[in-house]
């Protein structure tokens, strides 16, 4: 009788352990941190160089598209980003909880344009276990920010540009233009000609030269000497400049074009002539953020447009709640301010890849903050 109890008891333990080990697809490190907090109270410190090894643009586009879908379906808890304003710049705090992924996180990112010995933009991301609040990882967020912003532009073009675009124009030739181009070529592979303009002529020339070399005979990449010339006979326009006075004039815009307005990320910034918005289908990522600091913030404050002129958000488009482009003559605009769900979704996938592989996991520094 005693032996039968032993067998039953051992069987319960065996099947319980088996169920626990297979129940969750989360990395072992996350499961341990939840169940055995005192034994594994260590937080991973993940550097940019480690993130770059496991995150490419193709994966990033897929992750961000799913994030937009969850957002459109209302399956996230995401307050608008909070701004702390200083004399020389600002810091933005962006939290989100994603129940379906069992993860939460916060990105903190600064913008200090006048920095000399430091980058003007630096970001960190902290991932939290929702069950305990334990900080699973603190990681570089600058690379992830660049990648997810590029991915968002590519996804917007997928849903909002004409079916088979041939030509894309970039106004601004900085780092963000590079990730925008990478994502665009994934979601719209029919593009074979790129035009680029930058107020810094050398920067535009280097951009064109680098991408001509990268794509060789597959792509024609041209530097242009004027914005007006760059916008002639184009299908997609990507603006990534920090200007406060519009540089894209209404008379430059042809019917059927799609615009990714990426540059406006603070109150008072504006890249597009307000008249363009009045004749376009406007898609934002988030009303609170876009109305405060996106491309629509200045036209709204001046009464040129109102909330009723906003067609919808990118989550509604991706989730199928609203159609995107409905005719080849339509002008569409995506006003991108960046959502926390983009950052945390991408960061969590990076975290899982790095910590579930023994070879990469052993190289990550860990710290117990609560000793």
Q: At what angle do helices 142-160 and 57-72 cross, to 10 degrees?
A: 70
Given a contact cutoff of 8 angstroms between Cβ atoms, the answer to whether 125 and 343 are in contact is yes
Helix ranges restricted to H, 101-189: 142-160, 175-187
Whole-angstrom Cα distance, residue 250 to residue 247?
A: 10
**What residue has token string 């055995």?**
36
Whole-angstrom Cα distance, residue 361 to residue 210?
A: 34
Please name the helix (run of DSSP H) or strand (run of DSSP E) that holds residue 317, with its range, or none. Answer: helix 314-318
- Is the Cα torsion angle 277, 282, 284, 290 positive or negative in sign? positive
107 in active site: yes
Tokens matching residue 220: 């024609």
Measured in whole angstroms, the distance separating CA 333 from the mean position of its chain's CA atoms is 17
Tokens matching residue 281: 């289908």
Which of 6, 47, 107, 279 does the annotation list as catalytic? Answer: 107
Please name the helix (run of DSSP H) or strand (run of DSSP E) that holds residue 314, with its range, or none. Answer: helix 314-318
Q: For the chain, what's the residue count? A: 371
**What residue has token string 């034994």?**
39
Sheet hosting strand 103-111, strand order edge to edge:
82-85, 90-98, 103-111, 121-128, 135-140, 43-46, 365-367
Given a contact cutoff of 8 angstroms between Cβ atoms, the answer to whether 263 and 316 are in contact is no
What is the number of helices (H) and of strands (E) in the chain? 14, 15
Please name the helix (run of DSSP H) or strand (run of DSSP E) that holds residue 68, with its range, or none. Answer: helix 57-72
For 187, list phi and psi in degrees, rounded to 5.
Answer: -90, -20
User: 3-state DSSP call for residue 232?
Assistant: coil
Whole-angstrom Cα distance, residue 175 to residue 179?
A: 7
Q: Which residues are catalytic?
A: 107
């Amino acid at each position: 009788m005693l032996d039968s109890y032993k067998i039953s008891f051992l069987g319960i333990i065996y099947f319980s352990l088996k169920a626990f080990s297979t129940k969750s697809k989360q990395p072992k490190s996350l499961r341990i941190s939840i169940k055995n907090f005192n034994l594994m109270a260590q937080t991973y410190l993940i550097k940019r160089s480690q993130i770059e090894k496991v995150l490419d643009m193709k994966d990033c586009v897929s992750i961000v598209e799913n994030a937009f879908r969850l957002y459109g379906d209302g399956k996230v808890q995401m307050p608008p980003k909070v701004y702390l304003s200083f004399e020389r710049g600002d810091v933005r705090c962006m939290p989100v909880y994603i129940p379906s992924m069992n993860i939460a996180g916060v990105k903190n990112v600064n913008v200090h344009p006048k920095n000399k010995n430091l980058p003007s933009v630096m970001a960190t991301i902290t991932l939290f276990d929702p069950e305990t609040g334990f900080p699973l990882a603190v990681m570089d967020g600058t690379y992830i920010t660049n990648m997810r912003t590029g991915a968002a532009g590519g996804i917007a073009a997928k849903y909002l540009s004409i079916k088979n675009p041939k030509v894309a124009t970039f106004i601004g030739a900085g780092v963000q233009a590079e990730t925008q181009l990478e994502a665009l070529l994934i979601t719209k592979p029919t593009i074979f000609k790129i035009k680029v303009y930058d107020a810094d002529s050398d920067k535009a020339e280097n951009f064109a030269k680098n991408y001509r070399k990268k794509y060789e005979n597959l792509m024609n990449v041209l530097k242009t000497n004027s914005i007006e010339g760059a916008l002639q006979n184009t299908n997609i326009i990507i603006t990534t400049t920090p200007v406060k006075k519009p540089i894209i004039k209404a008379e430059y815009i042809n019917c059927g074009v799609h615009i990714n307005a990426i540059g406006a990320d603070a109150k008072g910034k504006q890249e597009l002539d307000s008249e363009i918005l009045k004749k376009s289908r406007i898609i934002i990522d988030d009303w609170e953020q876009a109305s405060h600091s996106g491309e629509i913030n200045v036209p709204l404050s001046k009464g040129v447009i109102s909330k009723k002129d906003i067609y919808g958000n990118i989550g509604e488009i991706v989730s199928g709640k609203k159609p995107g482009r409905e005719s080849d003559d339509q002008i569409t605009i995506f006003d991108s301010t960046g959502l926390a769900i983009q950052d945390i979704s991408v960061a969590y996938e990076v975290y899982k890849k790095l910590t579930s592989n023994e070879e990469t996991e052993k190289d990550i520094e860990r710290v117990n903050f609560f000793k």
